[in-house]
Amino acid sequence: MKFYMTPGSCSTGIHILLEELDEIFEAHVVNLPAGDNFKPDYLAINPKGTIPALVRPDGSALTELVAIAHWLGRTRARGRLWPQDMEGETRAIEVMSHVAGTIHGHGFARIFTTQAFSRAQSEQESVRALGQLIVEKNFAVLARQMEGRDFVTGVYSVADPVLFYVEFWADKTGIALPPPLLAHYRRLLARPAVIRVLKEEGYDPSRLGGATPEPAPAG
């Protein structure tokens, strides 16, 4: 398989899944700041110009983080990272959709790509502030779901590396994680596959996960 990714992005979640599943794949770095995602060669693979993308053994390309996680979980390594019961499946999809669609798509997107939401310089600080508020409020929702759980569905599954990538972003941007999410983040930072991926993507795992949590915001 061929995996198209950008270090430190949402594709880190899929990178972790590939490592956890012991998959053999070629990693191709797509330089988003340089606009590589809009070059003809990449658009021929993924016309959306987004990452990640995964070219499967049959040559077909799969896009969208949740879809890739679903396919990997269901079809690779005999489905060992896909929940084995309907409730677990449903909760995994629920959390992955929440992470990708809301925390990433509406929250961190406003922090990282502020100009996409407003080109007026006078409005950009308020756009970033709204992004952080969205992140914090939705972290609080996830924290309540994670109380008393080591992992999203109770056992390690495809949903955990997906949740990890926004926890990682919070760590890198100084946004406090509520205690249940901080515990989950640190738990994943101790996994060999996560350590390997972070090192491969240019990060030092020993320097991550040390933030002191603040009380989760209300609402």
Contacts of 166-174 with CB under 8 Å at 24 or more apart are: 166/99, 166/103, 166/104, 166/108, 166/135, 168/8, 168/12, 168/208, 169/108, 170/135, 170/139, 171/208, 171/209, 171/211, 172/8, 173/111, 174/211
Tell whether the torsion through CA atoms of 75, 195, 201 and 66 is positive or negative: positive
Predicted structure pTM score: 0.93
pLDDT at 211 over 80: no
CATH architecture of the domain formed by 86-191 = Up-down Bundle (1.20)
DSSP-H helix ranges across the chain: 11-20, 40-43, 65-75, 86-98, 109-112, 121-146, 159-173, 179-189, 192-200
Q: Any idea where the domains of the chain sit in the sequence?
A: 2-79, 86-191
Q: How confident is residue 215, by pLDDT bands cut at 50, 70 and 90? A: very low
Tell me the pairing of strands 2-5 and 26-29.
Answer: parallel
Task: For residue range 172-205, list pLDDT tens digits in order.
Answer: 999 999 999 999 999 999 999 999 999 999 999 9
Tell whether the torsion through CA atoms of 82, 86, 92 and 96 is positive or negative: positive
Task: For residue range 70-128, list pLDDT tens digits in order.
Answer: 999 999 999 999 999 999 999 999 999 999 999 999 999 999 999 999 999 999 999 99
Task: For residue range 133-153, list pLDDT tens digits in order.
Answer: 999 999 999 999 999 999 999
- The answer to whether 2-79 and 86-191 have equal CATH topology is no
Q: How confident is residue 219, by pLDDT bands cut at 50, 70 and 90? A: very low
Q: Which two tokens stand for residue 34?
A: 């340089």
pLDDT at 212: 43
Q: State the fold for domain 2-79.
A: Glutaredoxin (3.40.30)
pLDDT at 71: 98
pLDDT at 218: 38
Query: What is the C-alpha to C-alpha distance for residues 48 and 42, in angstroms, rounded to an integer?
Result: 9
pLDDT at 148: 95
Task: For residue range 29-49, list pLDDT tens digits in order.
Answer: 999 999 999 999 999 999 999
pLDDT at 217: 39
Q: How confident is residue 210, by pLDDT bands cut at 50, 70 and 90? A: confident
Longest dimension (CA), the chain: 53
